Amino acid sequence: MANLKGLAKDTAIYGMSSIVGRFLNYLLVPLYTNCMPKESGDYGVSVNIYAYTALALVFLTFGMETTLFRFANKEDETPDTVFSTAMTVVGVLSAIFLACVFGFITPISDALGYADHHEYLLMMATVVVLDAIQAMPFSYLRFQKRPIKFASLKMLFILFNILLNVLYFAVLGKTEVFYVFCINLWCTGAITFFFIPDFFKVKWQFDPALLKRMLGYSWPILVLGIAGVLNQTVDKIIFPLVCSEADAKAQLGEYGACVKVAMIMAMITQAFRYAYEPIVFSKAKDKDSKEYYAQAMKYFIIFTLLAFLGVMGYMDILKFIIGEEYRDGLITVPIVMSAEIMMGIYFNLSFWYKLIDKTIWGAWFSLAGCVVLVAVNVIFIPKYGYMACAWGGVAGYATSMLLSYFVGQRLNPIQYDLKGIFRYILLAVILFVAMTYLPDTWPSWLRIILNTALIFLFLYEIIRKDLPLHSLPIIGKKFAKK
């Protein structure tokens, strides 16, 4: 329990930068969806280009974030040397990428449908290179267990980003997507500046033999990462290419805006990952490690289901995040959130092959899920539009999740509390159905009150079964006195 409390503490700190930061970024969604008319397709352009940049970032980091944790925790390796070697890989790849984009910007822009807007791609190519360079020192902060500095820099980026967006869109009245990319470039560059002192503190040493071992470990993670990010973004890349409607980018903007509401699940998963990944590798040799992994999985599922119910229960409030003309896409939110829960479970299941240095399994699982996702999108988008995108995510993540679970139970079995997990899933489904069937004719305030009661019912079950009040800090002391 002590280790789990430490995990919860670090998750909360990392979550401050991820969840709180993303929540503040939600303030930009109503800003964009009210300032950029849906018909202009500008918001759809941002959704589309950010999907490409997410994919490029995976290539440039080359799986070195996880690889850094694996090798820096080995007794015969020097952490600074591991960091230096990883940083060299990312730096070389970033330089090649940037040279290619600037050298071949015309054919690249033409191929992606931005022949008249080279500047969009040039700015975002620079942003993704700076993000890749930042990824290594951010990972090193996590390895060094320095969550405060990690969270502070992440929050500083958010602060810069929000202030500049409010200035340009709300105060100066700008409506073009150009300013979204320009602001992102400035903010990313500013945060990179803060890492300069850290670079001088590292004892730089490049080790070719270590590089060979690290690349052998990281390339399957790269494939896994590519497949993973495609699972998250390929629908936004494919949609304008296969959608039969004339306003494809406008519809993509509608879907992309509404998906933001569902991204609270991605935030929780990311915060959990930041805290959990270093702990997993450091605990690998402990006798109770498998019991710890099983408990962490159960609590992750419990609290993501709670978040799911929270979002769905307060949709009458959260819908105002989105501009009114974009709200038809809110129907996709529960579907996308379900897919994100499956992605989080898949992440939890992924450690069995990382810990035995068989990362190739992750590549195969993710590729299988990606193939399913792409197939669903290509086949069904022309007929069902962005609903196919939402269900494609469920199909893809479910494939990867199930493959990882069944193969993992054969090669490195962990005794998960399946009975307890499925009890919570069933209860969450029943409560969600109850929320869904509350009549739309009822006043919003009444639906919110009833939904709150249903959420508290789920909380009661958590406290009754798995999180008794006496085990909580501060509150637990009061119960102990009684």
In this structure, the chain runs to a length of 482
- pLDDT, mean of residues 61-84: 79
Of 231, 251, 232, give the one whose Cα is nearest residue 387.
251
pTM of the model: 0.71
- Range in 55-69, 271-285, 290-304, 467-481 with the lowest mean pLDDT: 467-481
The pLDDT score that the predictor gives to residue 5 is 54
Sign, Cα dihedral of 223, 229, 235, 240? negative
**pLDDT above 70 as % of the chain:** 84
- Range in 355-369, 425-439, 462-476 with the lowest mean pLDDT: 462-476
- pLDDT, mean of residues 199-218: 82
The pLDDT score that the predictor gives to residue 474 is 45
Residue 470: pLDDT above 80? no
Alpha-carbon separation of residue 412 from 269, 355, 408 (angstroms) = 23, 10, 5
Contact status, residue 336 vs residue 257, Cβ threshold 8 Å: no
Of 142, 134, 115, give the one whose Cα is nearest residue 194.
134
Within 10 Å of residue 59's Cβ, how many Cβ atoms?
17
75 phi and psi angles, rounded to 5 deg: -65, -30
pLDDT digits (tens, 9 = 90+) for 222-254: 877 787 687 778 888 888 777 766 567 778 888
- At position 482, the amino acid (one-letter code) is K
Residue 155: pLDDT above 90? no
Contact status, residue 136 vs residue 88, Cβ threshold 8 Å: no
- Range in 130-144, 194-208, 258-272, 422-436 with the lowest mean pLDDT: 258-272
What percent helix, strand, coil does the chain show, rounded to 5? 85, 0, 15
pLDDT digits (tens, 9 = 90+) for 348-383: 887 777 777 777 787 788 888 889 999 999 999 888
In the chain the first and final C-alpha atoms are separated, in Å, by 22
Collect all residues with Cβ–Cβ distance below 8 Å to 298 and sequence separation of at least 6. 416, 417, 420, 421, 466
pLDDT band at 218 (very low <50, low <70, confident <90, very high): confident
pLDDT band at 479 (very low <50, low <70, confident <90, very high): very low
The pLDDT score that the predictor gives to residue 222 is 84
pLDDT digits (tens, 9 = 90+) for 91-107: 999 999 999 999 999 99
The pLDDT score that the predictor gives to residue 126 is 95
Tokens matching residue 113: 């449908």
Burial letters for 381-390: b for 16+ Cβ neighbours within 10 Å, e otherwise?
beeebbbbbb
Q: Look-up: residue for tokens 């990362």?
A: 359
- Range in 55-69, 288-302, 365-379, 462-476 with the lowest mean pLDDT: 462-476
The pLDDT score that the predictor gives to residue 208 is 86
Q: Nearest 5 degrees, angle CA 297-CA 303-CA 308?
A: 120
Contact status, residue 393 vs residue 263, Cβ threshold 8 Å: no
pLDDT digits (tens, 9 = 90+) for 306-339: 889 988 998 888 888 787 778 888 888 899 889 8
Give the separation between CA 403 and CA 186, rounded to whole angstroms: 42
- pLDDT, mean of residues 13-35: 68
Tokens matching residue 388: 């196919």
pLDDT digits (tens, 9 = 90+) for 397-421: 999 999 989 988 888 788 888 898 9
Q: Look-up: residue for tokens 């979002």?
A: 311
- pLDDT, mean of residues 142-164: 82
Contact status, residue 292 vs residue 2, Cβ threshold 8 Å: no
**pLDDT above 90 as % of the chain:** 20
Tokens matching residue 20: 């709180």
pLDDT band at 475 (very low <50, low <70, confident <90, very high): very low
Collect all residues with Cβ–Cβ distance below 8 Å to 465 and sequence separation of at least 6. 420, 423
The pLDDT score that the predictor gives to residue 425 is 93
pLDDT digits (tens, 9 = 90+) for 15-24: 555 566 666 6
Collect all residues with Cβ–Cβ distance below 8 Å to 396 and sequence separation of at least 6. 231, 339, 369, 370, 372, 373, 376
Which helix (H) or strand (E) covers residue 320, if one does?
none
Contact status, residue 63 vs residue 277, Cβ threshold 8 Å: no
